[in-house]
Structure 1
Amino acid sequence: YLASIGGNSPRNAVYLLRVPEPTVSSDAAPGNHPVANTVRIDFKYPGSESYDAETLLVDPRQGDVYIVTKQGASGTAKVFFAAAPFNDAQPRTLELVHTIQFPTGGNNNVGATTGGDMSPDGAEAVIRTYDVIWLWHRADGVTWADAFKTEPCIVDTGILTKGVEPQGEAIAFAANGKDLRITTELGWNASAKEPILAYPRQ
């Protein structure tokens, strides 16, 4: 899934592109890989509401979509939901299922959500801000709409202030479904090649 949900300004209409992931060898050189069977899925927020968002989560069990808004120093992140399948001819209206209040102390780096992912088995989800990584666990039989209402644990804090990342913008579970990978969009060097940092599960 590719998401057009942000842009540093609020918007009412957003969309996703769903495309089969191409098979790429782990030792292949970077390059362009043509893809086919791309599907566009359109959404809109309720009423005239508009939001900026950088976090897309797709439940691997049901295929449901969650979009988490980015609202900076307030630490308020709204979780919107749309249930699969997505065969609608018209834009689907997203449903607000929860509001997460991150403790920020007024620090935009702590409260601004910049990325997230769900584990391949759908049992865990992570949401990150510039400076903190939060993790939720979902018990069997519980929806993510309810799981996000439980208390998350902090994987790491002070990532930016400790100098680990200058501006953390992305996070994903590794292929083993346990470890995490993070990166930034702010160049660390003249080549602007961003390192991918590993978080092994203890």
Structure 2
Amino acid sequence: MADRILGVLAAVPFLLGTVSSSGTQGTTAFTFADPEIIESSALVVQDGLFLTTNDSGDSGRVFAVDPATGRTVGVTHWSEDPVDVEALAPAGPGHVWVGDIGDNGEGRDSVRITRVPVGAADATVHEPAYELVYPDRAHNAETLLSDPRTGRVYVATKDVFGGRLYAVPRHLSATSPNRLRAVGDVLPIATDGAFFPDGRHLVLRDYSMAVVYAFPSMEKVGEFRLPVQDQGEGIAVDARGTLFVSSEGQHEPVLRVSLPAEVRDALTPPSAATPPPSPSPGVPDRSIGIQVDDRPVWPWLLTGGIGVAALVVLLRSLRPR
């Protein structure tokens, strides 16, 4: 409860309109029909299915949902007693990373991720968990991402005064702690995130807005408000770059969100610039380091002449008589 209060307080400035971008509308893609999905805290689109998991308090299970009907078509049980499951990230065809990374009291010595098979069938699996350790101190986190180009996993913390993105080691050990590495700063109260298909951009959300970052520089590309939801926490990007958001609660809709034009334009790769024409033989190339002004000169001469005349009149008026 205290964590949610902090989240609401952090979202107040955005609700009051201090974010420069206009609000974004959403359309319902489908609605979760499964009454067991009551606290959808993460969202992944993969292999034509939407994957989600309940927030802390549930057993370790991942729901695979058919967006055509909203019905659950498969549940993978991977743990009976996780500590605080909060996140999912793609982990290759038929798999997701599950993040047992929540830590509201910021007192856990380590957190864990597990690669879990998912799909249109029920299954109970026993997969190895990989222990993660922050380089500085314990953090609460609800966001797990994976780079579509390399498969590398990242954790974004849910710190009130500004979070941070951490990289998981490329090669994970199942027998010893895996030390995280700080990558860059992110928005406060991050509740979920995802890479875009190009691997050059990622999006993170809080309860009311989303921020798009260039990767790996983590420079902010744009920010925009998300549609109003009961407790919006999940965000996912499909293979075409379409954005979806989800909310905690029973029978909640998953919304398809259109990116604002300025953000969409920023994500578009620049077209190859047309090379300048080669200089003609015997003609100096003045295209580099020289700015040519094609505006007519007479307005500048006229303005300068008027200024000089006014100065002369002023000086004459000041001469003693």
Q: How does 1:23-42 map to 2 (within 5 A)?
A: 24=120, 33-34=122-123, 36=125, 38-42=127-131
1:89 deviation in Å?
A: 2.3
Partner SS state of residue 139, structure 2: coil
Cα RMSD of the aligned pairs, angstroms, is: 2.2
Q: 1:85 to 1:60 in 2, by over 3 A?
A: farther
Specify the alignment match of 1:17 in structure 2. 114
Q: Is 2:212 the partner of 1:167?
A: no
Provide the C-alpha distance between the structure 1 equivalents of 2:179 and 2:169, rounded to a whole number of angstroms: 10
More RCO (CA 8 Å, sep 6+): 2
Provide the C-alpha distance between the structure 2 equivalents of 1:80 and 1:56, rounded to a whole number of angstroms: 10
Q: 1:168 to 1:67 in 2, by over 3 A?
A: same
Specify the alignment match of 1:68 in structure 2. 156
Q: Which has the higher strand share?
A: 1
TM-score (norm 1): 0.72
Specify the alignment match of 2:177 in structure 1. 91
TM-score (norm 2): 0.47
Provide the C-alpha distance between the structure 1 equivalents of 2:177 and 2:132, rounded to a whole number of angstroms: 5
1:41 deviation in Å?
A: 1.4
**Structure possessing the higher radius of gyration over alpha carbons:** 2
Q: 1:53 to 1:195 in 2, by over 3 A?
A: same
Provide the C-alpha distance between the structure 1 equivalents of 2:206 and 2:170, rounded to a whole number of angstroms: 27
Specify the alignment match of 1:196 in structure 2. 254
Letter aligned with residue 149 of structure 2: R
Provide the C-alpha distance between the structure 2 equivalents of 1:20 and 1:124, rounded to a whole number of angstroms: 26
Specify the alignment match of 1:151 in structure 2. 220
CA contact (8 A) 1:115 1:170 kept: yes
1:151 deviation in Å?
A: 2.1
Gaps of 5+ in 1: 25-31, 103-110, 139-143
Equivalent residues, number: 163
Partner SS state of residue 123, structure 2: coil
Specify the alignment match of 2:101 in structure 1. 5
CA contact (8 A) 2:133 2:180 kept: yes
Specify the alignment match of 2:204 in structure 1. 127
Specify the alignment match of 2:144 in structure 1. 56
CA contact (8 A) 2:214 2:220 kept: no
1:85 deviation in Å?
A: 2.4
Letter aligned with residue 34 of structure 1: A
1:124 deviation in Å?
A: 2.2
After superposition, give the CA deviation of every residue in 1:99-130 in whole Å (9 maximum; x if it has no partner): 23x4xxxxxxxx31111011244232110011
Provide the C-alpha distance between the structure 2 equivalents of 1:20 and 1:122, rounded to a whole number of angstroms: 23
CA contact (8 A) 2:169 2:180 kept: no
Partner SS state of residue 38, structure 1: coil
Provide the C-alpha distance between the structure 2 equivalents of 1:83 and 1:119, rounded to a whole number of angstroms: 21
**Structure 1 segments of 4 or more deviating over 6 A?**
none
Gaps of 5+ in 2: 1-96, 262-321
Letter aligned with residue 173 of structure 1: V
Specify the alignment match of 2:244 in structure 1. 181
After superposition, give the CA deviation of every residue in 1:116-150 in whole Å (9 maximum; x if it has no partner): 01124423211001111111234xxxxx2xx21x1
Provide the C-alpha distance between the structure 2 equivalents of 1:166 and 1:82, rounded to a whole number of angstroms: 32
1:84 deviation in Å?
A: 1.4
